[in-house]
Amino acid sequence: MLTRVNHIALAVPHLATAIARYRDSLGAKVSAAQPLPEHGVTVAFVTVGDTKIELLEPLLEASPIASFLARSPDGGMHHICYEVTDIIAARDQLTAAGARVIGNGTPRIGAHGNSVMFLHPKDFFGTLIELEEVN
Amino acid sequence: MLTRVNHIALAVPHLATAIARYRDSLGAKVSAAQPLPEHGVTVAFVTVGDTKIELLEPLLEASPIASFLARSPDGGMHHICYEVTDIIAARDQLTAAGARVIGNGTPRIGAHGNSVMFLHPKDFFGTLIELEEVN
């Protein structure tokens, strides 16, 4: 079902500081900050090999990243996104196996313009999993 | 400095359950459990594309995974491991930039037989980073 790791998302309290740290201390290639109001975050992409690390800062107080940072003010690892080729088939296989999809079960359009859905972290040992359909 | 993501490590409270969940629900290829007494963990490797997800269960009460699970009993995302080609050069560049290496600064031999070191999560927004030398 899982074809590759698309990205690992990290919540950070201050994006400009995190961009500078990843670029200057770790020598990584980091994009400019991109506000994504429909997702409630500002994001910067760190490219490491063929994997992306997404640095996420809350854009709105209602952002899911804001509630994460309320629990972990320093920031931390937020989710892993895996690619699947058929997100509806993946959803049906997962729910048949007893895993819970967050939301109403209909994939939504993610930050990269593809269909995405999130799986409940309680069903995967505290790790929030995003699935993204990439063909 | 960072050439690729080597693995993402997830702490889990019960490895056999996690192996079954990743294999049966997510359809992933998962190795058998391997005890690594010198690291205080039992590990299983989930292969997703060319990235590995390491599922870590404490092997000893003194395991760093045991203290993580004491704070997060469900489990959760524990660290990201990036590959570097020269771990000593990476250490020197990072410490010159003010980042802290955990331990005495001398790389140790990691689970894959390569030199590894960990960077302090306080310097990277709550994310524990492992660097592994791979040539």
Residue B76 is predicted with a pLDDT of 98
Residue A38 is predicted with a pLDDT of 87
Q: Are A96 and A86 in contact (CB under 8 A)?
A: no
What residues in chain B have per-residue pLDDT under 70? Answer: none
What number is the average pLDDT over the span A2-26?
Answer: 97
What number is the average pLDDT over the span A111-122?
Answer: 93
Cα(B41)–Cα(B38) distance, integer angstroms: 8
Q: Does B126 lie at the interface with A, CB-CB under 8 angstroms?
A: yes
- Please report how many Cα atoms fall inside a 13 Å half-sphere around the Cα of residue B18, on the Cβ side: 29
Q: Which of residues 68-97 of A touch B (CB under 8 A)?
A: 72, 74-78, 80, 82-83, 93-94, 97
Assign A41 a pLDDT band (cuts: 50, 70, 90). very high
Residue A112 is predicted with a pLDDT of 80
Interface contact flag, A2 B122, Cβ < 8 Å: no
Taken in order of first residue, the domains within chain B and their CATH numbers are 4-133 (3.10.180.10)
Q: Establish whether B130 is a catalytic residue.
A: yes
Residue B111 is predicted with a pLDDT of 79
Chain mean pLDDT for chain A: 95
Q: Of A3, A49, A75, which is closest to B125 when you measure between CB atoms?
A: A75
Distance set, CA A117 to CA A61, A94, A110, B21 (Å): 22, 12, 8, 18
**What does the pLDDT look like over A44-100, one tens digit per residue?**
999 999 999 999 999 988 888 999 999 999 999 999 999 999 999 999 999 999 999
